[in-house]
Structure formats: C-alpha cells, structure tokens
Chain A
Amino acid sequence: DAGVIQSPRHEVTEMGQEVTLRCKPISGHDYLFWYRQTMMRGLELLIYFNNNVPIDDSGMPEDRFSAKMPNASFSTLKIQPSEPRDSAVYFCASSLGPQGSNQPQHFGDGTRLSIL
C-alpha cells in the first residue's frame, strides 16, 4: 500500500520566493495534518483538515503560510514570501479518524526546505 507521499523531497530557494509543498494522503484517510520540524522547537503541528475542511490552523506561524485541501487526495502548504527562518523539514501525515478513535497518524518522508 502506498503511504503518504510528499513532494518535493528537497527544496532550495531564495528568500522572497513562493514555496509550495505537496502532499497526497493515504487513500481513505479523512484527516490530514501538516507538521514542521526544527532543531529549536522539534515537531510542531501547523494545521489539520477533516474531510478537506481546515479544523485548526492555530499552529500556522504567520499569514505568509497558507494551506489548502481541494480534494481528498491532495493538499498544499504554501509560503509566500519565504524567509530564511522558514528553513525546516515539513511533514504531512494522515489518519483514518481522530485520536479518540485510537487511529494513529501515518507520516510522509517530509520535504527539507532551505531558504537562502
């Protein structure tokens, strides 16, 4: 079975440029999560969706960050304009249901983003 698929695996760009990260969740999963991992703060939740609807975006750091889920099989995380402090590994995860239903989240391999 295909797991969560993220693209690109690596992205290097100059500050001020727009960055778009992509995620395909596991088929049938109705929850999708975006996380960011940095040395200082570890793994942090940015936003999550249920049935393509954003439920909690309180972890999104600034208005420069936006996320969409146009359908059940695709989500994007966009940073515009990008800044060097956005450099991190961004993970996407999906699950069959909320944690109260004892369904674990399954993670993609992440996108390593470097903003120069």
Chain B
Amino acid sequence: DQQVKQNSPSLSVQEGRISILNCDYTNSMFDYFLWYKKYPAEGPTFLISISSIKDKNEDGRFTVFLNKSAKHLSLHIVPSQPGDSAVYFCAASEGGGADGLTFGKGTHLIIQP
C-alpha cells in the first residue's frame, strides 16, 4: 500500500515555462513534507520542505504548496531551466522524529530547450 504517490512517471516542459509536479498521500499522520531532486548515479538532494502548519513555502524558483484537506502537495518550478532535468521525489514524515521518510516513486522531469 503506497502511502505517497506520484502518479506521473515523467513530465516534459519547455525551458522558461512553469513545471508543476504533483504528489498525493494517504497517511493523515504525515506532518512534514519534502521534495528531493536526483541525478543519475547520485544520491537524492534536498530541495525544499513544508510543515503541515503551512500551505506554501517558497525558495527562489521553487515553491511547494500543501492542501491538507485533499492530501495533496505540488512543487512549482518557475522558470524551468535545463539543469532542472532530473527525477523528483516527494517524501513525507510523521512528527517527532518517529520514523524516517516515506518516498513516492518519483517523476522524471525533462526540460526541453
């Protein structure tokens, strides 16, 4: 039973446009959400996170939105750049450090020139 789902295995976006990556979760105990970016043969790199007490967090070109009632979060990248081409993982955790991260299967983002 997948508790974190990324339903789009891949996404192609033109350079300069907005990239929107989506993630759904089922566990209502999750209260901290993260996005990681991964290049081939490297480990996941932390990108941005959001606590469940917020509905938006912004860092430069990256913004994460959280809709708790829908159990949905999204990552917006604007403008998209060629270096953004990578696999993006959504991850979630329960509060208090009770456990590690539960990951989605990832979305492969391809930025077209």
Contact = CB atoms under 8 A, between A and B. Distances in A.
Interface string B30-67: 01101010000111111001010000000000000000
Contacts of A33: 100-101
A108 B43 CA distance: 5
B100 A100 contact: no
Contacts of A31: 97
B43 A98 contact: no
B42 A105 contact: no
What is the size category of the interface that chain B forms with chain A? 20 to 34
Nearest to B43: A107
Given A98-B98, A107-B44, 15 more contacts: A42-B103, A42-B106, A43-B89, A43-B103, A45-B99, A48-B99, A50-B97, A56-B99, A98-B96, A98-B97, A102-B49, A105-B101, A106-B46, A108-B43, A109-B43
Which of A33, A59, A98, A106 counts the most B-chain CB atoms under 10 A from its CB? A98
A30 B42 CA distance: 23
A101 B41 contact: no
Interface residues of A, number: 27
A104 interface: yes
Interface of A: 4, 31, 33, 35, 42-45, 48, 50, 56, 59, 91, 93, 97-102, 104-110
Contacts of B34: 104-105
Given A107-B45, A109-B41, A110-B43, A100 B103 contact: no
30 contacts: A33-B100, A35-B100, A35-B101, A42-B106, A43-B44, A43-B89, A43-B103, A44-B103, A45-B99, A45-B100, A48-B99, A50-B97, A56-B99, A56-B100, A59-B100, A91-B44, A97-B97, A99-B93, A100-B31, A100-B95, A100-B97, A102-B51, A104-B49, A105-B101, A107-B36, A107-B44, A107-B45, A108-B43, A109-B42, A110-B42
Per CB-CB distance, the 8 closest pairs between chain A and chain B, nearest first, are A98-B97, A107-B43, A99-B93, A45-B100, A43-B103, A104-B46, A100-B95, A99-B32
A110 to B, nearest CB: 5
Contacts of A56: 98-100
